[in-house]
Amino acid sequence: MRIHHPKPHAELPSDDTDPVLRALHWILRIAAYAMAIAMVLVILEGVVSVMRTVYLKLAQAPYFIIPDIIQTFGAFLAVLIAYEIFSNITLYIRTDVFPVKLVLATALMAIARKIIVLDMEKYSALDLIGIGAMVLGLGIAYWLISRADSGILSVQSDNTRETTDDT
């Protein structure tokens, strides 16, 4: 038995029959490329900034002060989040499909960064409950998307086996 899998929804199709829509999609693709280039510049600036910060922290006494280390971790994570955003943009450009799972992973990384550098004295209990609810919601969404992806993959591998058995 063969299961038909529809093509993924194309967010930026390049083969639209309407010339106005085709031109608008072309403009949006150019905008996505511009965002990718801008993100590379942000990442490079972030890497230079992190390296400078680490050098200054290592060159000055007192060494290995915990708040300084946490701030440095925050800077590292900010660069990694920028890289994940770049990955989102490039995947969007390459596949014409919005990468929901990658966006959720990026959001989880961003909230993890917030938690790592969080100054507990600056936030109320309600703020912390809100952050916890965000983590829980993002985690559940990521888990659901992962389960859906693994279900699709197992069906696709069954289809592959059927195709090779038919030949």
pLDDT digits 0-9 by tens, 99-155:
888 889 999 999 988 888 888 889 899 999 999 999 999 999 999 998 887 775 444
Q: Are residues 98 and 124 in the same domain?
A: no
Read off the tokens for 12. Answer: 């930026």
Residue 5: pLDDT above 70?
A: no
**SS3 (DSSP) at 89:** helix
Contacts with 121 (C-beta within 8 Å, 6 or more apart), sequence order = none
Q: Are residues 63 and 127 in the same domain?
A: no
Read off the tokens for 27. Answer: 């403009």
Q: Are residues 35 and 91 in the same domain?
A: yes
Q: Are residues 29 and 96 in the same domain?
A: yes
Residue 163: pLDDT above 60?
A: no
Q: Are residues 152 and 123 in the same domain?
A: yes
Q: Are residues 93 and 18 in the same domain?
A: yes
Structural domain containing residue 92? 10-102
Report if pTM > 0.85: no
Read off the tokens for 136. Answer: 């829980």
Structurally, the chain folds into a number of domains equal to 2
Residue 132 lies in a domain: yes
Structure confidence at residue 93 (pLDDT): 82
pLDDT digits 0-9 by tens, 12-60:
566 777 888 888 888 988 999 999 999 999 999 999 999 998 888 777 7
Residue 23 lies in a domain: yes
